[in-house]
Structure 1
């Protein structure tokens, strides 16, 4: 019986441990590997995008339910709407964290798209000359590229600040219009034992803080947006 190559396979040998390094010099094999890699990373992006959507759906559903219940009867307490404001804020922080992880996978997908697929469709050169090194470094040491503040601001701008605005406006309307007619707005906004003036001041202060964060100028470190190639390279190297 003739011994096959598998009979001499020794996983401890350096040649066997670094067998994947041969793909770096074989063009067809490397392109095939990138195809499978792209599909795998795209699956991760899709999964984490679904997690972002689920968080948003939970926040919207809860907000709509609590606001509807607060307006369904005059004796229902108005502060249940403020409860939805607290829960939506919690969802905001959860989604900001998920967005940072989502961007980790998206950055790899965009790197492949910018330097392989885009160049195949219109061969004018790669966006990043060191894209293979960049990808290898990120695979060896995955790093989250989006600061938490940027993720928080981006989710506020895209989704959560409009939701917070709806909640605050609904609460003010509920207190001012659907509250008891024999007392003033300040008395109607009270949450025993907290005076109405303190409640209204706290809600408005919270809203102004969220508005300030939404308008906060931030540098774009997340991938996937159109920026100058030099800016993308510098930001990636800093990470």
Structure 2
């Protein structure tokens, strides 16, 4: 049986009334369907938050194991620490992709918090966004990623991975200086690759990640718990 088109709907017939009509009027309190919608967004956001935490836990466990093994014996090669840094960067990319998905659900949750619950608690402050209904409706009709991969990487670098990479870099420097029998840069050599080349690659790689993390930008991720001066509001 084919579905009836919108032209066949009789507005006078209560059984054919448009689904959702008047459901989210400003007079309506945050209850009923709105409450179920909000709980659903919270559940999905928490699921993606747990996925982020899982990747972070992997990164910490891997680095702890590599650091312990690297300094357990003077004969252990220093480049294992660089391998650990490469693993961290790989996990960073995975986590950034998950963060972009997490931001979809978090942005919806924050939209409801700011424009429904906050407004209901104190209407005198007005609405955060006058067009929030149209924007949220559009997002439900066609969900889209809201932040770039670079911004997601920058977020995770600031929160987790830049400190971890700094620890690995510091451990590697100690390993090729205090724990080496030959002077730098020869102590940084890996096989036929000369030490100065290895050092240059490490410095350039770390510098590129540092630049991504701290460069000025407009942050499009929905309000994070961080200093307000780190985020500029998206231009309307």
Q: TM-score, normalised on structure 2?
A: 0.85
Task: Give the corresponding residue for 2:161.
Answer: 160
The yes-or-no answer on 1:133 pairing with 2:124 is no
Task: Give the corresponding residue for 1:3.
Answer: none
Map residues 58-69 of structure 1 onto 2, 5 A cutoff: 58-69=58-69
Q: Give the direction of change, closer, same or farther, for the CA distance of 1:11–1:40 in structure 2 (3 Å limit).
A: farther
Structure 1 runs not aligned, ≥5 long: 1-9, 235-239
Q: Give the direction of change, closer, same or farther, for the CA distance of 1:217–1:158 in structure 2 (3 Å limit).
A: same
Task: Give the corresponding residue for 1:187.
Answer: 186
Q: Give the direction of change, closer, same or farther, for the CA distance of 1:57–1:17 in structure 2 (3 Å limit).
A: farther
For residues 12 and 196 of structure 1, what CA distance do their matches in structure 2 show? 71
Deviation per CA, 1:67-92: give whole Å up to 9, x if none.
11000011111111000000000111
Deviation per CA, 1:124-165: give whole Å up to 9, x if none.
222112221111111001111111111111111111111111
How far is the alpha carbon of 1:25 from its aligned partner? 7.1
Task: Give the corresponding residue for 1:92.
Answer: 92
Structure 2 runs not aligned, ≥5 long: 10-14
The yes-or-no answer on 1:107 pairing with 2:117 is no
Q: TM-score, normalised on structure 1?
A: 0.84
How far is the alpha carbon of 1:18 from its aligned partner? 6.7
Map residues 156-235 of structure 1 onto 2, 5 A cutoff: 156-180=157-181, 183-225=182-224, 231-232=233-234, 234=236
For residues 119 and 22 of structure 1, what CA distance do their matches in structure 2 show? 21
For residues 100 and 77 of structure 2, what CA distance do their matches in structure 1 show? 37
Number of equivalenced pairs = 221
How far is the alpha carbon of 1:208 from its aligned partner? 1.4
Q: Is the 8 A contact 1:11 1:17 kept in 2?
A: no
For residues 118 and 25 of structure 1, what CA distance do their matches in structure 2 show? 15
Q: Give the direction of change, closer, same or farther, for the CA distance of 1:211–1:25 in structure 2 (3 Å limit).
A: closer
Q: Is the 8 A contact 1:23 1:29 kept in 2?
A: no
Q: Is the 8 A contact 2:147 2:221 kept in 1?
A: yes
Q: Give the direction of change, closer, same or farther, for the CA distance of 1:29–1:220 in structure 2 (3 Å limit).
A: closer
Task: Give the corresponding residue for 1:147.
Answer: 148
For residues 115 and 154 of structure 1, what CA distance do their matches in structure 2 show? 25
Q: Give the direction of change, closer, same or farther, for the CA distance of 1:101–1:17 in structure 2 (3 Å limit).
A: farther
Task: Give the corresponding residue for 2:20.
Answer: 21
Task: Single out whichever of 138-147 and 124-133 deviates more from structure 2.
Answer: 124-133
For residues 214 and 187 of structure 1, what CA distance do their matches in structure 2 show? 31
Any idea what SS the aligned residue of 2:123 has?
Answer: coil
Task: Single out whichever of 68-77 and 187-196 deviates more from structure 2.
Answer: 187-196
For residues 137 and 145 of structure 1, what CA distance do their matches in structure 2 show? 13
How far is the alpha carbon of 1:224 from its aligned partner? 2.1
